[in-house]
Amino acid sequence: MATSEHNLSNYDPAGVPSGAGLKFALVVSEWNHDVTDALRAGAKQTLLDHGVAPADIVEAWVPGSFELAGGAQFLLEKGGLDGVICLGSVVRGETPHFDFVCQGATQGIMNVGLKFSLPVIFGLLTDDTLQQAKDRSGGKHGNKGVDCAVAVLKMAALKGK
């Protein structure tokens, strides 16, 4: 569904499983920091709102969105996590760099989740403009970080069944 038709922060809290006793990591890109920090804040608050203890949320920053998958893999290799949320923002420029970063990050994040058989959530904004990214990281379209936290809680519950 298009973001313009769906606020990323709207969800039914009753339909979200508790995260009590679970441990999650947030892997966040330093690039477009204002956007990614807003995504991180939204995801973290949502996890806390659903019972995840502050000590059970690991935060790791990576240089850019291309490094999200590697960061997730490094943390999962240490063990003890129930899932990872990868948060980044790539804004289209004048070169094909956008396409290469988006494709590599997408494939990498999916591969890490499959490799570890754990939820590794894709929270990469791929926008044409910086304003679109801001609109999806706490602006008029809500916060994709919230959406990702709900997804990791639901997928961790599914994994635990």
Position 94 scores a pLDDT of 81
Mean pLDDT across 83-110? 92
Position 93 scores a pLDDT of 81
Backbone φ and ψ of 92, nearest 5°: -60, 135
With cut-offs at 50, 70 and 90, classify the pLDDT of residue 1.
very low
What's the CA gap between 141 and 155, in Å, rounded? Answer: 23
What's the CA gap between 19 and 40, in Å, rounded? Answer: 17
pTM for the model stands at 0.95
Q: Could you tell me which residues come within 8 angstroms of residue 103 by beta carbon, excluding any fewer than 6 positions away?
A: none
| Domains observed in the chain | 43-57+67-95+110-161 (3.40.50.960)
Position 56 scores a pLDDT of 98
97 carries an active-site annotation: yes
CB atoms within 10 A of CB 6: 12
Q: Which of 6, 33, 50, 97 is catalytic?
A: 97
Q: Could you tell me which residues come within 8 angstroms of residue 60 by beta carbon, excluding any fewer than 6 positions away?
A: 25, 26, 27, 28, 71, 74, 75
Q: Which two tokens stand for residue 27?
A: 């892997």
pLDDT above 90: residue 2: no
Within a 13 Å sphere around the CA of 4, how many CA atoms are in the beta-carbon half?
2
With cut-offs at 50, 70 and 90, classify the pLDDT of residue 125.
very high
Q: Which two tokens stand for residue 141?
A: 């379209």
